[in-house]
């Protein structure tokens, strides 16, 4: 069995820093690097790409809404075609910096509100697929299992990596429980460890109401801006490798 661990990184901007990327990088296999809209800037992108390369971690683009003030977590209204070009613009930015450093871009994972909205909004999902297809159809698109975006991407011939959030509760429908809901965020490392192992071995996860849900995943997400993220990432990786599960970048086995 093989699985990837990804983390949102490079989410500083100018003199502002967020998360302990240097600590988290030691436990992950894929880095989702902010492209300058919700966070990040050219210098931060460059240093984060170099950090990933130094640790053998695959590089991915992490595009979001143009929303520095709201960290990309606000649901923005857009005209048709806007999201497609937002994604294209950010892919181009990260690709250019990555190429200058001798790195290749493995995947695309949307950020924040854009990630959540495109998962279930057909127009946004279509624009994301159009952007990835136009830019480089070989890129892996990371999204929620069984989402509108996952199904549409597969229909368009794109490679999809199904993502699971170890420290987030799920509803009975398989969607992430809203952060405003009590119990939506899990803080016990042992609980996170056990549900990750069960997910990989049995393809099962217990929902926030206690129901059993069948779910398959290719990559596990650790939020870099969560306090203690590097410890959680280390705990997850140690648990997986201790159980004989190989932790490798997603391009090694997806697609």
CB 36 within 8 A of CB 91: no
Residue 65 pLDDT > 80: yes
Domain chopping of the chain, boundaries: 2-252
pLDDT digits (tens, 9 = 90+) for 155-188: 999 999 999 999 999 998 888 888 788 888 888 8
CB 236 within 8 A of CB 166: yes
Quote the pTM value. 0.94
CA dihedral 116, 120, 121, 125 (to 10 degrees): 80
Confidence of residue 226 (pLDDT cuts 50, 70, 90): confident
Q: Which of 160, 131, 165, 133 is closest to 147 using CA atoms? A: 160
Domain 2-252 has CATH 3.20.20.370: yes
Q: Which of 180, 158, 162 is closest to 171 using CA atoms? A: 180
Q: What is the pLDDT of residue 174?
A: 86
Q: How large is the average pLDDT for residues 141-145?
A: 96
């Amino acid at each position: 069995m093989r699985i990837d661990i990804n983390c949102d990184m490079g989410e500083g901007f100018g003199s502002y820093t967020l998360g302990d990327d240097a600590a988290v990088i030691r436990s992950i296999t894929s880095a989702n690097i902010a492209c300058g809209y919700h966070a990040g800037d050219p210098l931060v992108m460059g240093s984060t790409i170099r950090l990933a390369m130094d640790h053998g971690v695959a590089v991915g683009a992490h595009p979001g809404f143009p929303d520095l003030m709201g960290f990309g977590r606000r649901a923005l209204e857009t005209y048709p075609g806007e999201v497609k070009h937002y994604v294209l613009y950010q892919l181009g930015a990260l690709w250019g910096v990555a190429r200058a450093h001798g790195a290749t871009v493995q995947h695309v994972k949307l950020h924040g509100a854009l990630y959540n909205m495109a998962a279930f909004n057909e127009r946004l999902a279509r624009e994301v697929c159009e952007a990835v297809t136009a830019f480089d159809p070989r890129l892996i698109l990371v999204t929620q299992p069984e989402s509108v975006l996952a199904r549409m991407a597969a229909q368009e011939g794109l490679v999809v990596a199904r993502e699971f959030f170890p420290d987030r509760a799920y509803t009975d429908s398989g969607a992430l429980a809203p952060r405003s809901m009590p119990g939506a965020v899990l803080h016990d490392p042992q609980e996170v460890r056990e549900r990750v192992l069960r997910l990989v071995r049995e393809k099962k996860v217990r929902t926030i109401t206690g129901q059993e849900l069948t779910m398959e995943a290719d990559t596990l997400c650790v939020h870099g801006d969560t306090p203690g993220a590097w410890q959680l990432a280390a705990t997850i990786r140690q648990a997986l490798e201790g159980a004989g599960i190989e932790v490798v970048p997603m391009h090694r086995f997806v697609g």
